[in-house]
């Protein structure tokens, strides 16, 4: 209802009553009646030296219509000009109404959930309730130390911000140059995080969602930093709780794991190799993975298939550290793409 009321165009200047801005379906178009002779009908944003907007001009009898290539922007003014074959141009300026919409987008979660992160923490995932606008992430996120000072360039700033397809989750990478041992940035400015330090990750309320509105409120995650994790996840330490007919399969890890990867790097297969479909839940600060199949377990043998690209918080994969110290004589030639853990439902 509100939208319909606001859809009435406001004519700011109207020398020739024939030019109108009208709304049809989802968008606006410009129309001039009684425009004989000339098809020279252009629309620009109402700014000096603005180039003609992209769009198409069609004629129906004596009426010309300009259909913009893109939807018009609420709150903007547009200038429509028709140049007849002789005489002065007719000009009209219109403003697209801007509906008043309350802000409604929130930060829904931040991973890792733990408030203790290793010095070499690699990634942070921030989830939002609605799609967000690209292009401003790195000025909306701040890492503050215990004195409230901002840790500069803590995150790798990429032009291609790492969003998911829906624009509802962004991945932040701590600058690998400040994590990797043996590279210049770490030697020059040190790590972004110091063991024993207390930090706040602050998400600004001013971050715009895809509709151009700020968040309902900002969010702060407080955490303490513990020494670096330079151990690969050890599958031998995982505790597998074998399900019964109505219960989920549960794996307990010896350390928190990467939340996003837990959702797709562990599969369950039946004895004939077919993937069992079901719901994955990640709990207890990403130290518990549980799987409830869509149809109840039946008696038989199963396998858990773990992709060894699964990472812990520091980006250490199963069988391969984030950065390998070649002096440690780590042999990763035996690294397999999958680890298979069998279990049986009785």
Partner 1 sequence: MKRYSIVLFLAAVCTLSAASSLSVGKAELKSAGQLAFNPQGILFVGDAMGGAIYALDTDDSKASAGVAVDVKGANLKIAALMGTTPDQILINDIAVNPLSHKVYFSVSRGRGPEAVPVLLRLDTLGKFQEIALGKVKHSKVELPNVPSAEGRQGANKRMEAITDLAFVDGNVFVAGLSNEEFASTLRSIPYPFTTADKGTNVEIFHGAHGRFETNSPVRTFVSYKIAGKPHLLAAYTCTPLVKFPISELKPGQKVMGTTIAELGAGNRPMDMIVYTKGGTDYILMNNSSRGVMKISTANLEGYEGITKKTDITGVPYETLAEFKGVEQLDLYDSTRALMLIRGEAGSLDLKTISLP
Report residue 186: phi and psi, to 5°: -65, -40
The C-alpha R_g of the chain, in whole angstroms, comes to 29
Stretch of 7-15, 81-89, 125-133, 139-147 contacting partner 1, by CB under 8 A: 125-133
Question: What dihedral angle (degrees, nearest 10) is formed by the CA atoms of 110, 113, 114, 118?
Answer: -50
Kindly identify the residues of this chain, within the stretch 257-316, that bind partner 1 according to CB under 8 A: 258, 260-261, 263-264, 267, 275, 277-280, 294, 309, 311, 315
Q: Does 144 bind partner 1 (CB under 8 A)?
A: no
What span, in angstroms and rounded, lies between the C-alpha atoms of 260 and 224?
Answer: 22
- Report the distance separating Cα 180 and Cα 25, nearest Å: 54
Structure tokens at 168: 């509802």
User: Based on CB atoms, which residue is closest to partner 1, 16 or 186?
Assistant: 186
Strand pairing partners for 219?
A: 203
Any contact of residue 185 with partner 1 (CB under 8 A)? Answer: yes
209 binds partner 1 (CB under 8 A): yes
Binding region for partner 1 (CB under 8 A) out of 141-149, 218-226, 239-247, 256-264: 256-264
Q: To the nearest whole angstrom, how small is the minimum distance from the Cβ of residue 179 to partner 1?
A: 8
The verdict on 180 binding partner 1 (CB under 8 A) reads yes
**Of residues 18 and 161, the one with the C-beta less far from partner 1:** 161
If binding means CB under 8 A, how many residues of this protein chain bind partner 1? 83
Q: Find the binder of partner 1 among 219, 250, 324, 341 (CB under 8 A).
A: 324
- Least distance to partner 1, CB of residue 330, Å: 10
Closest to partner 1 by CB, 123 vs 221, is 123
**Cα–Cα distance measured from residue 298 to residue 34, given in angstroms and rounded to the nearest whole number:** 76
Backbone angles phi, psi at 329, to 5 degrees: 55, 40
Integer Cα distance of 262 and 265 in angstroms: 6
**Selection from 80, 93, 84 nearest residue 35 by Cα:** 84
Of the listed pieces 85-93, 140-148, 244-252, 320-328, which binds partner 1 according to CB under 8 A? 320-328
Site for partner 1 in 6-65 (CB under 8 A): 43-45, 47, 50-55
Do the beta carbons of residue 48 and residue 124 sit within 8 Å? Answer: no
Among 111, 169, 286, 297, binds partner 1 (CB under 8 A): 169
Distances (CA, A) of 33 to 13, 57, 65, 172: 17, 13, 9, 54
Q: Does 162 bind partner 1 (CB under 8 A)?
A: yes
């Amino acid at each position: 209802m509100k939208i319909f009321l606001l859809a009435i165009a406001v004519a700011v200047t109207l020398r020739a009553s024939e030019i109108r801005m009208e709304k049809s379906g989802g968008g606006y178009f410009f129309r001039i009646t009684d425009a004989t002779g000339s098809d020279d009908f252009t629309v620009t944003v109402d700014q000096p030296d603005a180039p003609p907007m992209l769009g198409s001009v069609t004629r129906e009898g004596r009426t010309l219509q300009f259909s913009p290539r893109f939807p018009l922007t609420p709150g903007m003014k547009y200038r429509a000009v028709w140049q007849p074959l002789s005489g002065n141009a007719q000009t009209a300026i219109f403003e697209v109404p801007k509906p008043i919409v309350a802000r409604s987008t929130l930060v829904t979660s931040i991973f890792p959930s733990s408030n203790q992160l290793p010095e070499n923490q690699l990634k942070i995932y921030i989830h939002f309730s609605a799609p967000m606008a690209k292009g401003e992430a790195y000025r909306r996120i701040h890492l503050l130390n215990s004195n409230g000072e901002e840790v500069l360039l803590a995150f790798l700033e990429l032009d291609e911000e790492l969003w998911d397809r829906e624009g509802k989750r962004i991945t932040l990478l701590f600058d690998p140059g400040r994590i990797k041992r043996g590279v210049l940035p770490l030697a020059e400015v040190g790590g972004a995080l110091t063991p024993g330090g207390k930090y706040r990750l602050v998400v600004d309320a001013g971050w715009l969602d895809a509709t151009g509105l700020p968040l309902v409120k900002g969010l702060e995650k407080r955490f303490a930093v513990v020494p670096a994790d330079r151990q690969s996840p050890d599958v031998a330490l995982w505790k597998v709780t074998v399900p019964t007919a109505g219960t989920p399969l549960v794996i307990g890890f010896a350390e928190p794991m990467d939340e996003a990867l837990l959702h797709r790097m562990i599969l369950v297969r039946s004895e004939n190799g077919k993937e069992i479909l079901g719901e994955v839940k990640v709990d207890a600060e990403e130290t518990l993975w549980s799987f409830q199949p869509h149809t109840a377990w039946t008696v038989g043998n199963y396998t858990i298939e773990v992709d060894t690209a699964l990472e812990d918080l520091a980006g250490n994969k199963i069988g391969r550290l984030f950065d390998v110290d070649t002096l440690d004589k780590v042999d990763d030639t035996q690294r397999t793409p999958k680890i298979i853990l069998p279990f049986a439902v009785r």
